[in-house]
């Protein structure tokens, strides 16, 4: 191979590496009826048209806590270096901080410091936390805009990070991990022959009830597939649902309209109705005050 051809190949390889970008994932509660999300994408592409920008969700998650779980749900399946911009921000324009989190899994999350990063920090761990310096991470010309930080700060800073226009260390001053605001909620636990946890979020499209009880904890009860379970769901002290359902691998293993307990895609326990909406039928919602218990049926 001639030196000129080898040099050309090396140059092409260098160009490809130089053009490489980290994925940028957007999560908001803005909806898509207007141009808010498109504006955020426009800001990102103005930083670099080589970015890979994709959507997590832009529907209203219902609460910051539900948003925290929605944000974590796809995160483990994205590669190291992915930048998530998360904006569920009822306190926009107030004194709440804008922060950037690097997890121990090597992913980056930019969000308001209002509890939205609670589950991500818990499940992936905190490697480093920084305040987003708005003096350098604000869309030029947006200084008089105070209610669209999703576009003016988070999308702009996230795009610059994903495009390699700034390093994580350049995004702002380092904060202690304990500066990250977390929403308190009950951790999953085993109480004798019962496992208990909370309902952090509903499977919105199908009405399945997801829990934060990991399969590994449930497995301590040594419940075989097919055995009936006693399922109790409470909001605070109010008993909302009290049913018996079999532990099954998948929905089609029970007749249509019948309930089951299963393991969801995050390897947490969940409750559903085959071809039905469990949450709607039983009036179940989600949040830190929604508790669920699973135990062998007597």
Q: Are 195 and 293 in contact (CB under 8 A)?
A: yes
Q: Are 191 and 202 in contact (CB under 8 A)?
A: no
Topology classification of domain 189-296? Elongation Factor Tu (Ef-tu); domain 3 (2.40.30)
pLDDT at 56: 97
pLDDT at 220: 98
Residue partners of 88: CB distance under 8 A and separation at least 6: 27, 28, 29, 61, 64, 67, 112, 114, 116
pLDDT at 3: 53
Q: How does residue 2 score in pLDDT terms, banded at 50, 70 and 90?
A: low
pLDDT greater than 70 at residue 47: yes
pLDDT greater than 50 at residue 14: no
pLDDT one-digit tens code per residue, 78-130:
999 999 999 999 999 898 999 999 999 999 999 999 999 999 999 999 999 99
Residue whose pair of structure tokens reads 């350049």 in the numeric block: 170
Query: What value does the mean pLDDT of the chain take?
Result: 93
Kindly state the percentage of the chain with pLDDT values over 90.
90
User: Looking at residues 2-30, what average pLDDT do you find?
Assistant: 61
Topology classification of domain 3-179? Rossmann fold (3.40.50)
Domain boundaries of the chain, sorted by first residue = 3-179, 189-296
Q: How does residue 40 score in pLDDT terms, banded at 50, 70 and 90?
A: very high
| 3-state secondary structure at position 175 | strand
């Amino acid at each position: 191979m001639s030196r000129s051809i080898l040099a050309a190949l090396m140059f092409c390889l260098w160009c490809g590496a130089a053009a490489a970008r980290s994925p940028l994932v957007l999560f908001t509660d803005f909806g898509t009826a207007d141009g808010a999300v498109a504006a955020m994408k426009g800001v990102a592409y103005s930083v670099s048209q080589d970015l890979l920008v994709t959507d997590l969700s832009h529907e209203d998650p219902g609460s910051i806590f539900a948003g925290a779980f929605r944000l974590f749900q796809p995160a483990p399946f994205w590669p190291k270096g992915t930048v998530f911009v998360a904006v569920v921000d009822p306190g926009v324009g107030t004194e709440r901080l804008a922060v950037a989190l690097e997890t121990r899994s090597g992913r980056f999350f930019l969000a308001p410091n209002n509890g939205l990063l609670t589950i991500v920090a818990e499940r992936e761990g905190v490697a480093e936390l920084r305040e987003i310096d708005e003096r350098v991470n604000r869309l030029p010309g947006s200084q008089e805009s105070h209610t669209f930080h999703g576009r003016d700060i988070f999308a702009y800073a996230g795009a610059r990070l994903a495009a390699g226009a700034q390093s994580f260390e350049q995004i702002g001053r380092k904060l202690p991990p304990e500066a990250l605001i977390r929403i308190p909620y009950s951790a999953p636990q085993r109480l004798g022959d019962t496992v208990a946890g909370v309902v952090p979020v509903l499977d919105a499209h199908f009405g399945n009830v997801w829990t934060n009880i990991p399969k590994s904890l449930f497995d301590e009860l040594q419940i075989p597939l097919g055995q009936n379970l006693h399922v109790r769901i409470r909001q605070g002290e109010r008993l909302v649902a009290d049913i018996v359902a079999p532990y099954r691998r998948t929905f089609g293993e029970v007749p249509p309209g019948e309930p089951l307990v299963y393991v969801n895609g995050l390897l947490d326990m969940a409750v559903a109705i085959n071809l039905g909406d469990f949450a709607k039928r039983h009036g179940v919602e989600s949040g830190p005050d929604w508790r669920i218990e699973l135990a062998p049926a007597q």
